[in-house]
Structure 1
Amino acid sequence: MQIVKATLEDAETILALQKVAYQSEAALYNDYTILPLHEKIEHTQEAFSNHLVLKALDDEGKILGSVRGKIEKGVTKIGKLMVHPSAQNKGVGRALMEAIEKELPSQTYALFTGSKSEKNLFLYQTLGYTIVSYSTLPGEATVFAFLEKHSKL
């Protein structure tokens, strides 16, 4: 597996992966209206202008996963971590998280995930993140867990 910077040409493939990867989240909450399942290609493409987007590739160059992040007011905000269902539980998500943190170093990292998403919460907590609050987001019924990680630069 290789982690590299994604390009705008990867946007459609990453969006298709997102719609597959987030099915399990929708099922967990019995809510198929979640925003990642209805994101438009324009929104995905726009992310490339203001985020660093990474992709995990298999030996044949197929995208197994992706994550995006940006530094905002000194905080690295990480989002849209996704791994194809066939590649889950094989270290892809962990590798993507470690890579985005390395590429966007800061003293504080912030992200959120569904509060019932036990596998996601377990991964983030093993990477040093702690839950700092629970809340909803505009347009979402899901209660999210907001997590942070503090490091010494």
Structure 2
Amino acid sequence: MNHIKTAVIEDASEILALQKIAYKSEAEAAGDYTIQPMTQTLEGLENEFNRYLVLKYIHNDKIIGSVRANAADGTCRISKLMVHPDFQNKGIGKVLMKEIESKFINKRYELFTGSQSLKNISFYEKLGYQAFKTEKLDREETVFVFMEKRNVKRA
């Protein structure tokens, strides 16, 4: 049975293990295994539960997908969308994105991905996101594409 639920801090170790598996291809593409998703600690992830809504996608009692988001100043910042490689290209990422967006009634959504991650950029564009800037963050050498989507739902 597949379903999406809000993750709890007890899920952190399973989500972190998934994160290391899911972001391995990003690290390989960037030629950099020191990217933040690969070096994040369990303590660091547990701390994020205080600031982010974390969703998990469950299949046969295992977490195979996850996404995080928080909101401030009218913008929902979405991060760490991940799906286990064995389950990619089955619509799970799309379902997770729609669910996290539905949890935040904002006028704008924002996320970023590696500028070399053409598959990710295309995926987000299909969901209505558009690039608005590229930037290298201090934390690593990767150049990121920042993407946004305006919420067009009317009350």
The answer to whether structure 1 residue 132 and structure 2 residue 135 are counterparts is no
**What residue number does 1:17 align with?**
18
Once residues 61 and 101 of structure 2 are traced to their aligned partners in structure 1, the CA distance between those partners, rounded to angstroms, is 23
Aligned to 1:111, what secondary structure does the other structure show? strand
**What residue number does 1:152 align with?**
152
Shift of 1:29: 1.0
User: Could you give the per-residue CA deviations for residues 3-59 of structure 1, whole angstroms, max 9, x where no partner exists?
Assistant: 11001100000001101110000111111111110101111001111110000111x
Shift of 1:134: 0.4
The answer to whether structure 1 residue 88 and structure 2 residue 105 are counterparts is no
**What residue number does 1:98 align with?**
98
Which runs of 5 or more structure 1 residues have no equivalent in the other structure?
none
Shift of 1:62: 0.8
Structure 2 counterparts to residues 105-124 of structure 1, below 5 A:
105-124=105-124
Once residues 100 and 31 of structure 1 are traced to their aligned partners in structure 2, the CA distance between those partners, rounded to angstroms, is 29
Aligned to 1:139, what secondary structure does the other structure show? coil
Once residues 24 and 141 of structure 1 are traced to their aligned partners in structure 2, the CA distance between those partners, rounded to angstroms, is 16
**What residue number does 2:33 align with?**
32
Shift of 1:105: 2.0
Structure 2 counterparts to residues 54-93 of structure 1, below 5 A:
54-58=55-59, 60-93=60-93
Q: Please tell me the residue identity of whatever aligns with 2:140.
A: E
Q: Please tell me the residue identity of whatever aligns with 2:120.
A: N
Aligned to 2:122, what secondary structure does the other structure show? helix
Once residues 110 and 134 of structure 1 are traced to their aligned partners in structure 2, the CA distance between those partners, rounded to angstroms, is 13
TM-score by length of 2: 0.95
Once residues 92 and 152 of structure 1 are traced to their aligned partners in structure 2, the CA distance between those partners, rounded to angstroms, is 23
Q: Percent of counterpart pairs with the same letter?
A: 47
Which runs of 5 or more structure 2 residues have no equivalent in the other structure?
none
Aligned length: 152
**What residue number does 2:50 align with?**
49
Shift of 1:152: 2.8
Once residues 101 and 125 of structure 2 are traced to their aligned partners in structure 1, the CA distance between those partners, rounded to angstroms, is 15
